Amino acid sequence: MSTTLYQRLGEIDGIARIVDDVIAAHLANPVVKTRFENAKDLGRLRQMACEFFCAGTGGPQAYTGKDMLAAHRGMNISEQEYLAVMDDIIGALGKNQIDEGTKSEVIAVLYSLKDNIIRV
């Protein structure tokens, strides 16, 4: 039986660790640091990211946040910022020993969302 992306990411506990590592990386990344330092509610952002990744990878959790376009509308996110965030996510996946095939799947999913994130 094949495993879901959710299972390969370590289910809710693994995804929560990855999200925590991604947020820590964003806060240290000079390209996007200010956006995350100025986030109104980093705890809510973390919760929404966990829900989004769980629901979007086959987990049982429901995503209760805005769709990607609504969440990023008006933020004028640049291509450079998008790539910096992607690099942080790839780094967090590596830190959590996620295999290359699974990493590639996550990257493909995130890349498919870029038109709902960049300069919307």
C-alpha distances out from residue 96 to 76, 78, 117, Å: 30, 27, 25
Question: For 6-65, how does the pLDDT look when each residue is reduced to its tens digit (9 = 90+)?
Answer: 999 999 999 999 999 999 999 999 999 998 988 888 999 999 999 999 999 999 999 999
Question: For 52-100, how does the pLDDT look when each residue is reduced to its tens digit (9 = 90+)?
Answer: 999 999 999 999 999 888 989 999 999 999 999 999 999 999 999 999 9
Domain architecture of the chain: domains with CATH: 10-116 (1.10.490.10)
Question: Within a 10 A sphere around the Cβ of 73, how many other Cβ atoms?
Answer: 13
Answer yes or no: are the C-beta atoms of 119 and 29 closer than 8 Å: no
pTM assigned to the model: 0.91
Select from 49, 34, 47 the least CA-distant residue to 81: 34
- How far apart CA 95 and CA 23 sit, in angstroms, is 13
